[in-house]
Amino acid sequence: MVGKTLLPLLKSNGHEVFALTRNPKTAGVRLPIACQIIRWDPLSNISPPGFPENIDAVIHLCGEGIADGRWTHKRKQEIYDSRVLSTRNLLNLFIRSKLPPKVWISASAIGYYKTSSHPALQETSPPDNGFLAKVCKDWETETFKADALGARTLALRLGIILGDDGGVTAKMLPPFRIGLGGPLGGGNQCMSWIHVRDVAGLILTALENPDYQGPLNAVSPYPVTNREFTDVLAKTLKRPAVFPVPAFALKLLFGEMSHLLLASQNISAQKAIELGYRFVYPKLKNALKVICDQIGHKFITEQWVPQPIDQVFEFFSNPNNLETLTPDFLHFKIVKISHPKIREGTVLDYQLKLHGVPICWQSKINDWVPGKRFSDLQTRGPYAFWHHTHEFYEARGGTVIRDNIVYKLPGWVPGDVFAHAYVKKDLEKLFMFRREQIEKLFVQNPKSMHE
């Protein structure tokens, strides 16, 4: 979630990005910008082929989700290795390359600290002795070894990250949307939170400001109690929140992981404020409002091709090429087009099959800027809402193809809870196929796009 927010900001500020990932195929459609993708196993000490030289900065965001399941012995080892071992192995890549980066920024977490409500804990406050604290301490120990390479090193101790379409918010919103939310335990535990846009903002600022160094609490200046958080979220959604979850129930359901939900952590943002960082969302009310106002889910992906923009736009604006870009398992077929050539107001009718179920889909072109972009809005089909913007812009002597989709599933909250994971996988599968086809048409055999 942090990476998806950060990458467009890096790009808009003129940075060139190299992404290290275990799965380049899925990363190609999950990352919101076109960038060079390199396969890398974070648990292996082997240098990946094609590892770039002359890297100015490293932003290390690896880490298995700590709230994705019960903390079994195996799961705890995965959480530890994904942070500590990956940092060690990443550092070794640069030690071997003999070309150290100038800046090294790594995630850490406020799990470093002891439970506290008052006073607010500073970066100099002592660590706890539990599992999460050990992970954070060892994680930062590896991180600050980058100092020996001459890199300016920063460890962001992240609070509870709030954002749309992911993270803890995605787990909390469904019960609150249907009026089944409530405080956790006694509700008096302090929550030190931060909006994902401010996490990305701190990273972006730290890249260019030499005063950012050492550990830094990445939290809002205004922490709240869990009960306050519950009240603000309920009022934002205009729903009641009268179903508290007792502490014993959380411990029964989640075991040791329930500590994440019940521990009180009042963490100070004073260092970030003194460094001059201006929070985009300092107050919880505005942060939750912008999250809750989202009409659905987003899917954004980009792909670069070494072809002129006019030819690329011409290809994509021809509806007859849709079948070429759609996998056979969807049985896609155009039935009717209202105009011989696409323009604003054109209506397209087509048929397809989703998991074997026949679907009639109708879209209308509601935005048309020749050579730059066009959008299609679903007027009849399987989604409660679907708006797909196709954008094209010149870059590096070629063209970037950008797909920006906003969609909402039918069936209100229950429909979204049960279906979104499957729909997201289907979309990724569709765009992975599409990415391969574009590679064949525009890179490997560009003459075929004119046939």
Q: In this structure, which CATH number among 3.30.530.20, 3.40.50.970, 3.90.1300.10, 3.30.450.20 belongs to the domain 297-450?
A: 3.30.530.20
Show me where the domains of the chain are located. 2-292, 297-450
The band of 451, judged by pLDDT with boundaries at 50, 70 and 90, is low
CA angle 420-76-107, nearest 5°?
75
Considering only CA atoms, which of 43, 46, 45, 108 is closest in space to residue 82? 43
Q: How far is it, in rounded angstroms, from Cα 62 to Cα 47?
A: 17
Q: What is the pLDDT of residue 148?
A: 94
CATH topology for 2-292? Answer: Rossmann fold (3.40.50)
Other CB atoms within a 10 A radius of the CB of residue 299 amount to: 20
**379-434 tens-digit pLDDT:** 999 999 999 999 999 999 999 999 999 999 999 999 998 899 999 999 999 999 99
Q: What is the pLDDT of residue 167?
A: 83
Q: What is the pLDDT of residue 418?
A: 87
pTM for the whole structure: 0.94
Tell me what percent of the residues of the chain surpass a pLDDT of 70.
99
**166-220 tens-digit pLDDT:** 888 888 999 999 999 999 999 999 999 999 999 999 999 999 999 999 999 999 9
